[in-house]
Amino acid sequence: MALKSVAMVVSYFKFLCYCSLTKQFFLATSTDYSVQKSSLVLEKVFIFNAKLSTNHGKHRQPIHIINSYIENSTLLIMDYESVFLLRTCFVKNSRIELMFNSQSSILAIDDSILIDVYIKANVEFYKMNGILLIRRSVFQYGSIFGDLTGVNILIDNSKLIYVDIESVKKSFGHHIAAFILRHSTFHYGSISTMDHRSNLLSSDITLARSPLVMGDNSKILCTSVTRKIKTNLNTIGIDASSITIKDSSIYNFQIGIRVFDASTIVSSNIYQNSLYNIQNRGTNDIQAEGNWWGTSIEVNIDSKINDYYDGFNLVGKVFYSNYSLKPIEPTNSPCSNNVPETTTTTSYTTTTSYYTSESSIIYTNLVTFYCIFIVLICFFK
């Protein structure tokens, strides 16, 4: 009888823990969004040659796919306040179409593997607003493409290989969105986010096609940017209007960095770029002190800096004094752990709150109460 009671206690405890986690998951979803709604949860399913979409209309049901396999299918995330979560999934040869137009619309891909997957922003809507998250995932072969002008994109702790990211710029009034690549590896693809305030943080980037195009007031911190084949000519590494580069390395291009507005480039390795390490194409000066330029001979440093002193009277100067005499070793800079304040848009804050709530709601007291209650019943029965 005692053994039977213990077994019952264990079974009840497992069941209550499961219920607690399930309740935690649903509560996080309903808490973070003003419209109260339940989620459709698909777990351990096989989706093949199918088309799955969020509801189109007044009542929109979040879709959460967990521990599942998806192949030759289309996932359609559409309309206002759509939430689509892929967690621990394997997705192959499929398309994901973004048609949402609200800052509360989210596509989140966590702890998953994507192969031959194409994420496309549909241009059906006048404005594309929303959030795309890829976290702790492997993405091999594919692209993130389309009118992503108003879509905040965060790629964190992931590995992307042969993936192209390109946002087609639109001229009409979108809010300024953020593109963040953080603690990630990005190999043999291309990045063009001219309409995003981009931040590359603590990442390793090898481009198959250049340049890496970034929007105004972007940042490269604690990151390496190079090219797959260093002998290719007519290549530009970083192409930006205004940018801050710190504790990073830019090398193996024809022109390492080309900028068109006031910028700051410090404590970085800018070297082995065949024509120019840096080219100023704007009227403002560039602060580029304390860098390693591939040599300690000043005349050689100067020969690879293209600015006002090269006879271009309409462009600004590049100040490169106090240059390093040797390569700058990577450091555990605080910048590797911080998200710049430029990403604290309303939608990004909403997304951060979503994941914080999901991971922090715990029903320890409730589970403990029920376990004690079950034990008492078993022993007094």
Q: What is the average per-residue pLDDT within 214-233? A: 85
Q: Are strands 255-259 and 204-207 parallel, antiparallel or unpaired?
A: unpaired
- Would you say 251 and 226 are in contact if contact means Cβ atoms under 8 Å apart? yes
Residue of higher predicted confidence among 348 and 267: 267
Query: Would you say residue 228 has pLDDT above 50?
Result: yes
Q: Tell me, what's the pLDDT at 370?
A: 38
Q: How confident is the model at residue 116 (pLDDT cuts 50, 70, 90)?
A: very high
Q: Tell me, what's the pLDDT at 271?
A: 96
* 3-state SS assignment for residue 151: strand
Query: Would you say residue 15 has pLDDT above 50?
Result: no
Query: Would you say residue 224 has pLDDT above 80?
Result: yes
Q: How confident is the model at residue 121 (pLDDT cuts 50, 70, 90)?
A: confident
Of 368, 280, 292, the residue nearest 325 (C-alpha)? 292
Q: Tell me, what's the pLDDT at 78?
A: 75
Whether the full predicted model's pTM is greater than 0.85, yes or no, is no
Query: Would you say residue 125 has pLDDT above 70?
Result: no
CA 36 to CA 31: how far, in whole Å? Answer: 8
HSE at residue 360, side-chain half, CA atoms within 13 A, is 8
Q: Tell me, what's the pLDDT at 269?
A: 97
Q: How confident is the model at residue 377 (pLDDT cuts 50, 70, 90)?
A: very low
Q: Tell me, what's the pLDDT at 310?
A: 86
CA 74 to CA 56: how far, in whole Å? Answer: 16
Q: Tell me, what's the pLDDT at 254?
A: 93
* 3-state SS assignment for residue 302: helix
Sign, CA dihedral 10-11-14-16, equals negative
Q: Tell me, what's the pLDDT at 59?
A: 53
Q: What is the pLDDT of residues 326-348, one digit of tens each?
A: 999 876 555 545 444 333 334 43
Residue of higher predicted confidence among 115 and 167: 115
Average pLDDT, rounded, for the chain: 78
